Amino acid sequence: MDIKDVILYAELTEKDMYLLDKYNKVIFIVNRSSTKKDIKEAVEKLFNVKVKKLNTLIDYKGRKKAYVTLEKEYKAQDILSKLGLI
């Protein structure tokens, strides 16, 4: 799978902002057929960061969410500012 097809968009709700500030996590809505390995590679290559941990789930709307925790030397806020969300 091409890395540009993996990540659809970043999600930004109040809960997501809490996770961003407290745990250095970014939440992405990703392609349903992508694997954790695909998601990790896409995030690392697109944003030049290192992923510490990655959790995925399918929400009640049928979307696949990826909770991406970054290593301490990288800031999740930088990713969202690159995307123009904050």
Sign of the four-CA dihedral 37, 41, 42, 47: positive
The model carries a pTM of 0.90
Is 79:49 a contact under the CB 8 Å cutoff?
yes
- Per residue in 10-63, pLDDT (tens digit) is 998 999 999 999 999 999 999 999 999 999 999 999 999 999 999 999 999 999
Full domain range(s) for residue 60? 3-83
Residue bearing the bigger pLDDT, 47 or 83: 47
The domain tally of the chain equals: 1
Query: What's residue 50's pLDDT?
Result: 94
Residue 47's domain is classified under what CATH number? Answer: 3.30.70.330
Q: Taking the mean position of all CA atoms in its chain, how far away is CA 55?
A: 10
Query: What's residue 52's pLDDT?
Result: 94
Query: What's residue 6's pLDDT?
Result: 92
